[in-house]
Structure 1
């Protein structure tokens, strides 16, 4: 990760030496062949409102690291996906819903290292991310540097990591403005989506409270927060970007690539002021291993990655099983059998 160091340089005058000592050296990696860059603290921009990639590229790693280092609970900002086991959740249509979209690989954790979290190395990669110019979502690619090695997150590298989007020939739905204005019947309306997973019509105006969801939708959104659309903070509400994802899971369409969600959310979290999380830490770690960007010096921090446990799902949830049935119940909300 980029570090700031002072450096005294011989010069023709003491003024030159003093000026050089005030500059920071940006180290891109121990074995990097990049030309050394010197950043003057007086030139450091203020990151306010605008996306990070609108800032000078040489300052972006420093600004990202500053934001992360100011967090009171930095470790909690690194969101690690939880494994969802079919033996526990298959009876409740969870795997069937994900398979219908070709997203079933998202429920697994391919990385067998369940005791480490490489926070510093993941932060280094996020800080140095660059997004390519692309014409189609499938062309979007993020490239960052860690330990002097470029690690790429793209449709191709994510497919090598796991069998995401198991319908490679399926036409994914990316509605154009023309479709939205001239073919509204091709896409569900906002109210159509809300009506599909809220109990009563009057419960989905204004704030979208999770307590008003149908029970299957409650279960799916819990899993989405851990696996599909990671977030922290208040989990009592359904956020607007989660609405089409939840609708697609319940209906099997519209279909869009899980890989695009991952790449796009990583870029938003890195690039948008106020999005103080690092999502998909296990996916990022898997990519680092693929590119051999983990070195013997990278010890990581001890963090046990626990599976999503059907018997400990939170307040209100109860689970019962026998030889003849599995029952998942939520207080005041009925049950799923």
Structure 2
């Protein structure tokens, strides 16, 4: 090594092959993809620890309580990484959320992120195994149903509950049955917003019904909402209380019945029409695809391919199915600028 004064000589080594390989990598957009992947996980960590709530309160110092309960060394490095990615800024020794950081950590942003990273991350991490048959969805690989339910409830409350309420009011519904209610967020949210509405929630999972009952108590509507266990696809077995409803809704549930074929869906609609002859409305809400890259449409497509749920259909395909049933579709509601993108189909018997 040649020394210049007391300092070593600096030698930069380059060759044509190295330059071509590095240029190919940098032009591939992979650097940005890698960074985006890590930012996604970092934002999730920000929300899963006390950091987000503390930073939402305003500028905080690590010397005070910003990192309380967290590893101080990891925490300090993590905060610095968030500064480098523009999620946080510093003012002296204080950290605070940038506008980007605020937008990344809204309830909607975190719910959308939670669907893809939390609920389906374990699936997309195994794409290779699923493709080669080393793993089978539903056996070796499953989505996180609890995360999916929680995040979808947040998104539905923000974007779609107003549509459901508007459709029910349009038909004069006062007691609504939510078929496949999950944790009850939709029916509870609707009753909170409309003090004159009462509801019944039905789901096959007793654990979900327990969650729903607790949610109704905490929301102060337990006196107006009841939850029962039942199979959404076997209406003849539903508890008698379900017959009290004068309006029915079925949100992001009916598509799963396509695993038994289109005729099974038609038969189910006919059975509901027979058992609920005085229903004012059966509101079916289902996601649809545009088959492009806008608004994570391609990501939505991918997770349905990998999990074999039956790809979301466009509205024309749904209308074809409804036309084969004894119900008719009177109206289609859409909600632009909402995720997941859902179409709502107002169905009723022809005499309604």
TM bracket (short chain) = under 0.3
TM-score by length of 2: 0.25
Larger Rg: 2
- Structure with more contact order per residue of length (Cα contacts < 8 Å, sep ≥ 6): 1
The structure where helix makes up a greater share of residues is 2
